[in-house]
């Protein structure tokens, strides 16, 4: 390694953080994290290196996910875990289905689309999905 190095504990944390990343990305992130640390005082380096270590598993997930690795789902509420969603209607902005309505839970984002041959009734959805109404 050429050039300055962060304080040893911070540097070790960065090495550990990078070790969990996919092999082909390690050099990039090692250099990137090292540069960021060098701009900080030693106490700041420790804080930042700890934060990077904490986020390293999420970073690995983002780097290894296929398809559309966008954002994590919000933790569902207790009601939602028991299937008692509170649906609201949304219009689909997908170009393949422009204007098509679907129901999405206002708490957890669970989506239900109406069957092709059935008229969709949001009131019925909500009556079935909540204990005491909303």
Partner 1 sequence: MAGRDLVMTGATEAVLGALVARPAGDHHGAGLHSDTGLPTGRIYPVLARLETLQWLDSGWDEPTSSEQGWPRRRWYRLSEQGLAMARGALASARSTSSVRVGRLRPAGEAS
> In the bound complex, what is the minimum distance in angstroms from residue 16's beta carbon to partner 1?
13
> In the bound complex, what is the minimum distance in angstroms from residue 83's beta carbon to partner 1?
17
Tell me the per-residue interface mask from 96 to 125 with partner 1, x by CB under 8 A, - otherwise.
x-------xxxxxx-x--------------
Residues in the chain: 134
Sequence-separated (6 or more) residues with CB below 8 Å from residue 22: 60, 63, 64
Site membership for partner 1, residue 52 (CB under 8 A): yes
Site membership for partner 1, residue 35 (CB under 8 A): yes
DSSP 8-state symbol, 86? -
Site membership for partner 1, residue 28 (CB under 8 A): yes
> In the bound complex, what is the minimum distance in angstroms from residue 46's beta carbon to partner 1?
12
Nearer to partner 1, 92 or 120 (CB): 92
Q: What DSSP string describes 23-58?
A: GGGHHHHHHHHHHHHHTS-HHHHHHHHHHHHHHHHH
Pairing mode of beta strands 101-105, 87-91: antiparallel
């Amino acid at each position: 390694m050429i050039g300055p190095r962060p304080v040893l504990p911070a540097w070790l944390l960065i090495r550990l953080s990078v070790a969990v990343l996919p092999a082909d990305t390690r050099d990039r992130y090692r250099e990137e994290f090292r540069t960021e640390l060098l701009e900080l005082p030693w106490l700041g380096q420790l804080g930042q290196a700890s934060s990077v270590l904490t986020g390293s598993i999420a970073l690995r997930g983002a780097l290894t996910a296929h398809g559309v690795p966008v954002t994590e789902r919000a933790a569902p509420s207790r009601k939602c875990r028991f299937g008692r969603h509170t649906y609201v209607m949304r219009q689909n902005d997908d170009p393949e289905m422009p204007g098509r309505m679907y129901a999405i839970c206002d708490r957890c984002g669970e989506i239900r689309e109406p069957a092709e041959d059935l008229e969709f009734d949001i009131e019925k959805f909500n009556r079935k999905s909540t204990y005491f109404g909303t």
